[in-house]
Structure 1
Amino acid sequence: MSFDRNFKTVGPQSSWSEIWHLWTVIVPRRSINGQLVVGKVWRRHDGRDWIYKKFTEFDGEEAA
């Protein structure tokens, strides 16, 4: 009998777990100029773990 280790479902997922949220992250280390590293990421929960994606800001005028 084989076991799929990539199978992450532990139960029925709720509808909120499929929604990506914009999340502000503060990394507990200092940058070159001494400030904390801060950024934004997309985040959602898959029932067991948090999944993160890079957030890239864009200028609305350049997109038009």
Structure 2
Amino acid sequence: MSFDRNVRNSRPQSSWTEIWHLWTVIVPRRSINGQLLVGKVWRRHDGRNWIYKKFTEYDSEAA
């Protein structure tokens, strides 16, 4: 019986694994002025791991 180690998962991915959602992240370290570091990222699960992307805000009036 052969086993292919390159196959990640035999089950098909769920539809929710393709959806990006906005996630608030709090980094457990303090900034220069003493506040916790807080930010937003896009987050998606690929069926095995979480994938993160940088979230960039923009001014809708300037666009």
Q: TM-score range by the shorter chain?
A: 0.7 to 0.9
User: Counting helix residues as a fraction of each chain, which structure ranks higher?
Assistant: 1
Q: For the pair shown, which has the larger CA radius of gyration, 1 or 2?
A: 2
How does the TM-score come out when normalised to structure 1? 0.83
Amino acid at match of 1:62: A
Q: Provide structure 1 residue ranges, at least 5 long, that are not aligned to the other structure.
A: none
Instruction: Give the match for residue 14 of structure 2.
Output: 14
Equivalenced residue count is 60
The alignment yields a C-alpha RMSD, in angstroms, of 1.8
How does the TM-score come out when normalised to structure 2? 0.85
Q: How is 1:1-64 mapped onto 2 (pairs within 5 angstroms)?
A: 3-4=5-6, 9-10=8-9, 11-63=11-63
Structure 1 runs of 4+ with >3 Å offset: none
